[in-house]
């Protein structure tokens, strides 16, 4: 059994919904267990300090074999596993602690590459009929900070997946923290995003 810690984020920026939290909640954990993948789900705070610290605490508590963190991107219509995390932080808006930090995240190199192959995840998601591509830019907001933490505070395969910032009603008011682009009305539903994550995690069996 492969134990996978999967994290989503709480709402932020005055929005009441975070598509990553909704998508993670819809992962078919029973189907994955039958295929040899045990899924542990956690929700992280959208804060530059608390998000990475909560991830580290969850890793220490659950001792996963693999870590997959999930966040939302308002300028994207596809599911996008990330290739790399940069050593930088930029806050267009305040995080949920009211902070807008700037500068390096840690004393490490400028760029760290995912230790779980994003192309493998893309293939599995596409095979499930969901549009996906590898992204080379995880932004500079809390998503990137948590992605960076998954690579510096966990000694195992890890990656970050951005999902479209879908809303059942209206358009997300957040999400530009990842892409400097106009908000996209995402055609993928929360159920679609849950299927995408289920497919991605299923590729980790064995």
CATH code, 184: 3.40.630.20
The pLDDT assigned to 110 comes to: 98
Of 33-47, 60-74, 129-143, 180-194, where does mean pLDDT reach its minimum? 180-194
The pLDDT assigned to 80 comes to: 97
Q: Number of structural domains, the chain? A: 1
Res. 170 pLDDT band, cuts 50 70 90:
confident
Residues 143, 145, 186, 188: which is the catalytic one? Answer: 143
Domain that holds residue 76: 2-202
Single pTM value for the model? 0.95
Q: Mean pLDDT, to the nearest integer, of 3-31?
A: 96
Phi, psi of 23 (to 5 degrees): -65, -45
The pLDDT assigned to 183 comes to: 65
Task: Count CB neighbours of 129 within 10 A.
Answer: 10
Q: How do residues 22-58 score in pLDDT, each as one tens digit?
A: 999 999 999 999 999 999 999 999 999 999 999 999 9
143 is an active site residue: yes
């Amino acid at each position: 059994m492969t134990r996978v810690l999967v994290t989503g984020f709480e709402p932020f920026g005055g929005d009441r919904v975070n598509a990553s939290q909704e998508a993670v909640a819809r992962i078919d954990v029973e189907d994955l267990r039958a295929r040899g993948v045990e899924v542990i789900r956690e929700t992280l705070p959208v804060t530059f300090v608390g998000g990475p610290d909560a991830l580290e605490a969850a890793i220490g508590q659950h001792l996963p074999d693999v870590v997959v963190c999930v966040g939302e991107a308002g300028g994207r219509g596809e599911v996008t596993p990330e290739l790399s995390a940069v050593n930088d932080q930029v806050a267009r808006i305040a995080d949920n602690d009211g902070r807008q930090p700037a500068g390096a995240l840690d004393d490490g190199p400028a760029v760290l590459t995912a230790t779980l192959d994003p192309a493998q995840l893309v293939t599995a998601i596409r095979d499930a009929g969901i549009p996906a591509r590898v992204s080379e830019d995880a932004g500079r907001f809390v998503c990137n900070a948590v992605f960076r933490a998954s690579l510096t505070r966990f000694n195992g395969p890890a990656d970050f997946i951005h999902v479209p910032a879908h809303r059942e009603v209206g358009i997300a008011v957040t999400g530009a923290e990842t892409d400097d682009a106009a908000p996209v009305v995402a055609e993928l539903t929360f159920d679609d995003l849950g299927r995408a994550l289920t497919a991605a995690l299923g590729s980790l069996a064995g």
